[in-house]
Amino acid sequence: MTVKIERIYTKAQENNAVRVLVDRVWPRGISKADANLDYWLKEIGPTSQLRKWFHHDPERFATFKDQYLKELQTLDEQRAAFAELQEIVCQNEHVVLLYAAKDTEHNHAILLQNWINHPPRSLKNKNQS
At 32-77, the pLDDT tens digits run 888 989 999 999 999 999 999 999 999 999 999 999 999 999 999 9
- Cα–Cα distance list, 98 to 32, 59, 101 (Å): 13, 23, 10
Number of domains in the chain: 1
129 located within any domain: no
74 located within any domain: yes
56 located within any domain: yes
- Cα separation, 48 vs 125, in Å, equals 25
Per the structure, the complete domain to which residue 12 belongs is given by: 2-119
Q: What is the DSSP string of 93-120?
A: SEEEEEE--S-SSSSHHHHHHHHHHS--
Percent of the chain whose pLDDT exceeds 70: 95
pTM for the predicted model, two decimal places: 0.90
- Cα separation, 16 vs 56, in Å, equals 31
Phi, psi of 70 (to 5 degrees): -60, -40
* Residue 41: alpha-carbon gap to chain centroid: 8
- Cα separation, 106 vs 45, in Å, equals 14
- Cα–Cα distance list, 114 to 6, 28, 53, 129 (Å): 14, 26, 22, 17
125 located within any domain: no
How much is the pLDDT for 50?
98
127 located within any domain: no
How much is the pLDDT for 16?
86
